[in-house]
Structure 1
Amino acid sequence: MLAITAALWEKKAMHKKYGFLCSLFILPFLPFGQASAQSTASGAFAIEEIVVTARRREESLQDTPIAVSAFSEEEMDLRGHLNVNDIASATPNVNIEQSSNTSGLTNSPTVFIRGIGQQDFVINTDPAVGIYVDGVFIARSIGSMLDVMDLERAEVLRGPQGTLFGRNTLAGALNLITKRPSTEAFDAKFTVAAGENGYSQINGAFNIPLSANLAARISVMDRKRGGYVEATNYDDLWLGDDNTQAIRAQLEFAPSDSTRVNISTDYTKSRAAPSPMVAETLGNGYGDKNALVAASTMQAYWWNVSAPMQMASFSGLEVCKTLAGQQTDTRCMGQVHNPGPDVYETTAVWHDIHGVKDPDPTNKVDTLGGALVIEADTNWGTFKSITAYRGFESDFRNDHDYSAILLFTNINDDFHQDGRSQEFQLVGNAMDGKLDYTAGYYAFAETGTERVSLVGLAGLWVVQGRENGVIPPTSTVPWAGSTGMNPKGGARFQRIVRDIDNTSNALYGQVTYHFDAPFHLTAGVRATEDEKSFDVTIHRDYCPANPNSAVQPAGGPTSNGDGFIAFDKVTDVCQVSTGSAKWNEVDPMISLAYDLNDTTMLYGTYSTGFRDGGFASRFPDGLPDTMPAFKPEYVTSSEFGVKTELLDGSFRLNAAVFDTTYDDMQVSAVPVAIARGTGIENIGVGKLSGVELEALWIVNDNLRIDASVGLLDASLESVVGGGFTTGGFKIYDQSSGVTCTASATLRCIELNDVVLPYTPETNYTIGITHRLPMSSGGNLTTRLDYIRNDAQQFKITNQIDMREDAYTVANISTTYNSADSQWALTFGIRNATDAVYSTAGSFSTGNGNSALNLSRPRESYLRYQHWLGN
């Protein structure tokens, strides 16, 4: 059942958890850590050295003094990973969900690391977690739900990475490294999979030597997964499906022993139904969903836009002013349109700009990338140039009322972005290897357009009171004059065109000095200059003389002859506004590492990061006189860690403790200057601290156990001005003398009771892998993953239906590996316990409706893999 309760949960004391895991830091000092192990790992399972590039140079994972998790291709195969979302489940304090809370698009992920991330998808909001493919930054959330196709490894860097990776990595970075072409020999890998709920997948990767110094590599993928939330007002529409095809091609040329040139391109096509959102509360998301919504007329709502819509009575029918009517009469708006006990159903209907039911609301995303990488070994070190392009085109929509009645439909029918970057790097060493250095210059430029059409209730209202099968009769509410339906902006059809033109330039450098004693001191700095230009144009079918007037002029928009408002005339420009800003930031870092012995390193790191500021995006009632803006946010973090291998190298333990101060924190909220819609606001100062543990134990030749644990203590330390009011909620600091009086239109949250979004106190994963040798010479490998996530909120305003209780997921697989290592056959079950939980939530302050994004149910699959030339 959905994890919704009637009250906020209390914060739990965490000192016992911290004390337990902090005690693990003393393990390297205990006698058994230096003694011979009782058992050694050899044969089938072994701990191998992992090489990472988390600091822009190749080095061992165990020698890298930052919190980083790394997954090889073999490890991702073993765990059954399909995309970056799966990688997050195996990494402490990392949360990647497949859909944002408002886009309606499954290819626009919500990404958080250590409680810092991005929830909004609009074109002028930036990520807090940088996602990189072969060193190329992906600037927008749309199209960043990447597959693990033909990856050499995936690295998850936790904590601010402002020095080497730059802006918008204040939470961390996801660094994906694909396999490169090789001239050594031809090899190929094929994967064919099929399973429940329409799952099928075909992957192919081919390495093709063309000459002694030229090779190509081609990777292709085709994946389909059926949806799992039924849209009951359609004949055959299931939300949450997946229909993705991808291709990647590379050509690598080595004109000399010291020079390498790599040209790559990739294309991904995604076609899918809207996100699997199901209504939780219709009409009264502020309180008890089973309670009567206070009676009001439609006119009262439009005059009081900061209050809940109280829309259950909007039709004007007396029956809709009763609890029974709101729960049983389909002409009313309320829980009657909520499917009820079957949580995998929705009555949502998607509409086009004419207010007509869209028979095929397929979301479309096409992403394209290309890069030219030149590497040259010089007397000064390795010089590297990365010239890259990444962009996407998309067309998608979302039903923001989550019901059969048209209250608010959001149609992004043209959302595209083009990003170009150039980076120069120099990586080398001096002083007989005592000094390592990295220096670089980075330039980035992007342009993009988001054209979104907003079709709302008043924009589709019947001019003459004509009744429609879906929309309730409205003759009691006239259209024109001072009693008009929408006195704050003309027709409730609006097209907003958002254009961005952004640039970023940075210089960075980092050095590590290796002392004679076992100390390694690292220091770095990055200077960044960012410029943003943001243009907003609002088109409407009808532009009143004063778009922000309290009373709509008489006459209103024209009918199209069928009793409905005509929506074809969208060329009228009602308002235009422009915002521009420039920031100059400096991000320093310093780290000291100490080699306790050959297998144990202790380190401490201080680092910083920032995320760009920007401008408001949504203007339901027209543009204000001045474009609302928000400031950059900043993070400073201290981290102490240990990386060690014990028991003669059969047990690896990496642990970190961190403390982060989060200044000018950006949150997804209703902008104060607009009072409606969703945007970004600087709310105050946050504090995030925690512990992370990753362990791998080779018990014997045929048994390994791995685990990751994340503990997080997140709090809002102060709020702007002592009190922050957003969308019918007020967060206030009682200790500063600010008070709050709750009412029917205002909910009060004391500062100390605020739970920050996506900050579960505990998350952990335990994996057990057993290998059984067979008489055929092959082996049977069984894998169990047990994943646990504590309760978490989805909104800073902490609505009772915008949270998820703790949940547990188990994944199981059994693989037969052939004796010649040329093929493998896997049977697996994802979400074996059939856990039902939500991963994102959306709440509309305009209509009181709320919805949750549901996880996939239990699904079994069969996978065959074949290797050639290995």
Structure 2
Amino acid sequence: MVSFKARLRLAGVCAAASAIAIAAPAQAQAEAAQAAQAAQAAQAAQAAQAGDAGDPRAESRADVLGGDIVVTARKREESSQSVPLAISAFSGKSIEARGIQKIDGIASFTPNMTFQNNPSFGGAGSSAAIYIRGIGQKEFLPTTEPGVGVYVDGVYVARSVGALLDLVDVERVEVLRGPQGTLFGRNTIGGAISVTTRKPTDTLSGNLQATTGRYSRMDAKAVINVPLSDRLFSKLSVATFNRDGYVRHLSDGRDLGDVGTLTGRLDLRWVATDNVEMSLAVEGTRDRTNGPAFVLAKVNYGSRIFNPQNRPMLPPGSPATPGAYVLNPPFDAPTDNFTLLHNYFAALLGGQPCLGFSPYKPQGSGAACFSDRFLVGADADAGTGLQYSRNDLWGAQMGIDWTLGSIQLKSITAYRKVDGDYARDGDHSPFTILHLADILKQTQFSQELQLLGTTANDRLKYVLGLYYFKETGNNINTLDFTPVTFRSGGRFNTESYAAFGQATWSATDAIDLTVGLRYTDDRKSFLPDQEILVDKTGGALIAASPNTPKTRILPFQRVHLNEDAVTPAATLSWKPTRGLMAYATYSKGFKSGGFVQRVFPAQASVPTFNSEKAEAFELGFKSKLLDDRLTLNAAAFLTKYDDLQVQVFTGIAPVTKNAASAEIRGVEVETRLAAGDGWFLEGSMGYLDPKFTTVDPAATEITLNSQFERVSKWTVSAAISKSVELANGSELTVRGDWSYRSGAFMDALNSPELFQPGYSLFNANLTYDLPGKTISVFGTITNLTNKRYLQTGVYGSSFGLYEHLYARPREWSVGIKWSF
């Protein structure tokens, strides 16, 4: 039997041969058509992204005056308004105008999108939890895949750790909403975020920027573009971001939630011939912080085992008494609540007054008792355990672009590496109830080949491609709890193969039909390396397992999971008049399954979960009105979402399981208006109505009435800016941004303590361009009303601890930028 790899290679050869055969008869006229098309694309790109070689403010002119942004959502350069997909596109200048430093900031202006820094249990300071149209994933473990794909210059970023990208020298960011299972097929069931960096040009240019502000903020960025010859160009960008935290770690005076980042990137671009272009990029990022700004918000002292009705207690051996609870150690040890178990041990083994008898009070005044005295507010932490987050990320990629008449062959080869080390005190006290440490080492390699072409008098445009992805790594979790200390995690390996194709047929000048198909084969393995290091109970109190030290929690045996999927897409678009396009789209998405690596007590085999799938139907339109000064786009969609991977608690650990199916309905509207005389307005609105349609009976944590976690029903934004040209040739620009997000739960359990009510945010920005517009002075205020809102929240029922992580409070900053 022919192997899959051999079939994949054969398919690629056949695809290339077929494309060349189709294109050859029309080669001459296609070359002429391609030249015209290339000229048009160059003009569009120049209009939308100008400023590399001339006026450094020219790019903002295209964005502010309503010029379309050139996007590559379909692997070729097109105007964002001509693509029949729901896309939010932001130029680098518009991102800068909003004062956005990290990529998560775009969520405030993108309908139906959630993008949070979610350290969760691991404590990684840069971990992305991204949801688009209700589909996403908050888990950072490498045995679980993200639900929204993040791509940098076409390269898939596999891990959510490190996906919270710094935006240093970005050309544009595209947010593609809905399943992108054909062209962006690697785990893009909810959508894709595509970041495109600026490429080196043939002009000596650059900029320097310095920013200071509240919380001892000191940021600096430098970009320089240097042509090395007539055909070889280089660009170097470096940046450092530094800011104090906003939650005081009381035991040592450090601030949690601080920023300490150093990042850099070197780009080389070689135009070898008129038909061949090669690019090479090497980048690295170093993060060193004191850990995420979690605070203790509430403690649940309840137990289903020990005194579940909170009755007055009687000493062991007392006769059964109505209305009272008779202590029965060690058989009533509250192993379902480690905080209460700590007090149980302190009271019965240490003689501490941690369990009041009458009335019953599961917290006491003794020094060894856990009590509400550790609830020290929203800006302080009373923990004494280790707290830190350290990330080292680097990558390299090479691109080759070879034009053969009407055919374009592209190759993208990339390597990325993550080296992370994290620790967190999850009980926020001097005791050891919930201490966590993680070491994550991951490497990934990917190779993508694309064949793009046009034929049939430019009426048929096609993309054919092959994709290979390999990921290896090791994740070591050390967990120190009240009754036990153990090691979790293990070694993981993923290989993914795919072949894809998409074609657009222009039946008439007004009607286009696009069809696409992708075949994906994912092969995964996991070698759990998990054992109990210290059993503090001697094996007597751990539910369902008389464990002894060094006992394996899972067998030290490699397990495998192989899955494949076919994900089609089809779009019909209609352009009845200039400036108006209506479209209908059908698409499917696939996100592969994985392994449950957090397991306790011991099990005989590794729990796994399967892939989840989404099938989406969408109707939309895009329009340009009022002499192209007004852009109005809208979409309505229905997504059928099956085999949801939901994170719930089973035992003491959060685990992922295929728990339900759902339907998601929604609407999105985006608009921009260049009103004239320097005025520019923009806004967006998103509405989501996700509902579970079936729930696995074994998933007792959720019901048909449960709400999706981290998903708001309403997301609304608006912005207004005014630019004034002054008599001396300088320019003053004032901008205000508002965004609103309705309430959402931070966990699948819909814990009321982790519900964030709806809230509004206001930001303001003032920029003064000196005459000549090479020097700019700017000031920004974020979170103008000092709104306190949850960025994320964590609750583990086995610990009884509710943790909140609030977003940064109001901050001001001022800076200066010199461009040349």
TM-score by length of 1: 0.81
Distance 2:61 2:394 in 1: 44
Aligned to 2:51: none
Deviations 1:429-486 (A, max 9, x none): 110100000010000001010111111223xxxxxxxxxxxxxxxxxxxxxxxxxxxx
Aligned to 1:837: 789
Deviations 1:556-596 (A, max 9, x none): 76xxxxxxxxxxxx899985243211011000000000002
Listed as ranges, the matches of 1:802-821 within 5 Å are 802-821=754-773
For the aligned residue pairs, the C-alpha RMSD in angstroms reads 2.6
Distance 2:108 2:189 in 1: 20
Gaps of 5+ in 1: 1-40, 351-357, 459-491, 558-569, 733-750
Partner SS for 2:779: strand
Partner SS for 2:96: helix
Listed as ranges, the matches of 1:722-801 within 5 Å are 724-725=699-700, 729=701, 731-732=702-703, 751-752=704-705, 754-801=706-753
Equivalent residues of 1:428, 1:436 under 8 A apart:
yes
Aligned to 1:526: 518
Q: Give the percent of matched residue pairs that are identical in Structure 1 and Structure 2.
A: 29
Q: Relative to structure 2, which stretch is displaced further, 393-402 or 416-425?
A: 393-402
Which one of the candidate residues 139, 148, 158 is aligned to 1:120?
Answer: 139
Matched residues, number: 736
Cα gap change, 1:198 to 1:541, in 2 (>3 Å): same
Distance 1:121 1:433 in 2: 45
Aligned to 2:208: 190
Distance 1:709 1:301 in 2: 53
Partner SS for 2:373: helix
Counterpart check, 1:315 vs 2:295: no
Structure 2 residue identity aligned to 1:87: I
Which one of the candidate residues 649, 654, 662 is aligned to 2:641?
Answer: 662
Equivalent residues of 1:435, 1:511 under 8 A apart:
yes
Which one of the candidate residues 540, 553, 558 is aligned to 1:578?
Answer: 558
Equivalent residues of 1:102, 1:120 under 8 A apart:
no
Distance 2:299 2:245 in 1: 23
Distance 2:635 2:729 in 1: 41
Listed as ranges, the matches of 1:350-369 within 5 Å are 350=385, 358=386, 361-369=387-395
Q: Relative to structure 2, which stretch is displaced further, 767-776 or 573-582?
A: 573-582
Distance 1:292 1:772 in 2: 69
Distance 1:327 1:716 in 2: 43
Deviations 1:262-304 (A, max 9, x none): 01110000011211111111234899xxx99677788457675
Cα gap change, 1:636 to 1:851, in 2 (>3 Å): same
Distance 1:633 1:365 in 2: 30
Distance 1:496 1:395 in 2: 15
Counterpart check, 1:640 vs 2:636: no
Aligned to 2:676: 700
Distance 2:800 2:696 in 1: 26
Distance 1:628 1:495 in 2: 17
Distance 2:88 2:63 in 1: 23
Deviations 1:113-159 (A, max 9, x none): 11111111112111000001100001011111101110111111110
Aligned to 2:200: 181
- Displacement after TM superposition at 1:770 (Å): 1.1
Cα gap change, 1:180 to 1:859, in 2 (>3 Å): same
Which one of the candidate residues 276, 298, 301 is aligned to 1:281?
Answer: 298
Counterpart check, 1:627 vs 2:606: yes
Cα gap change, 1:680 to 1:775, in 2 (>3 Å): same
Structure 2 residue identity aligned to 1:856: R
Partner SS for 2:104: helix
Counterpart check, 1:846 vs 2:798: yes
Cα gap change, 1:670 to 1:549, in 2 (>3 Å): closer
Which one of the candidate residues 711, 715, 718 is aligned to 2:691?
Answer: 715
Cα gap change, 1:522 to 1:214, in 2 (>3 Å): same
Deviations 1:8-59 (A, max 9, x none): xxxxxxxxxxxxxxxxxxxxxxxxxxxxxxxxx9999521121100111111
Aligned to 2:435: 409
Aligned to 1:515: 507
Which one of the candidate residues 93, 104, 119 is aligned to 1:100?
Answer: 119
- Displacement after TM superposition at 1:539 (Å): 3.3
Aligned to 2:218: 200
Cα gap change, 1:760 to 1:551, in 2 (>3 Å): closer
Cα gap change, 1:859 to 1:526, in 2 (>3 Å): same
Partner SS for 1:315: helix
Cα gap change, 1:301 to 1:676, in 2 (>3 Å): farther
Structure 2 residue identity aligned to 1:214: L
- Displacement after TM superposition at 1:680 (Å): 0.5
Which one of the candidate residues 444, 451, 454 is aligned to 2:479?
Answer: 454
Cα gap change, 1:834 to 1:217, in 2 (>3 Å): same
Gaps of 5+ in 2: 1-59, 314-326
- Displacement after TM superposition at 1:239 (Å): 1.0
Deviations 1:473-521 (A, max 9, x none): xxxxxxxxxxxxxxxxxxx121224110110000000000011251100
Deviations 1:82-130 (A, max 9, x none): 0111111111111111223222222012111111111111121110000
Counterpart check, 1:248 vs 2:200: no
Equivalent residues of 2:661, 2:692 under 8 A apart:
yes
Structure 1 stretches of 4+ moved >6 Å: 41-44, 291-298, 543-549, 570-574
Cα gap change, 1:841 to 1:373, in 2 (>3 Å): same
Distance 1:302 1:537 in 2: 29
- Displacement after TM superposition at 1:790 (Å): 0.4
Equivalent residues of 2:107, 2:115 under 8 A apart:
yes
Cα gap change, 1:818 to 1:299, in 2 (>3 Å): farther
Listed as ranges, the matches of 1:404-483 within 5 Å are 404-412=430-438, 414-458=439-483
Distance 2:143 2:197 in 1: 29
Partner SS for 2:131: strand
Distance 1:108 1:67 in 2: 26
Aligned to 1:209: 227
Structure 2 residue identity aligned to 1:630: F
Equivalent residues of 2:553, 2:600 under 8 A apart:
no
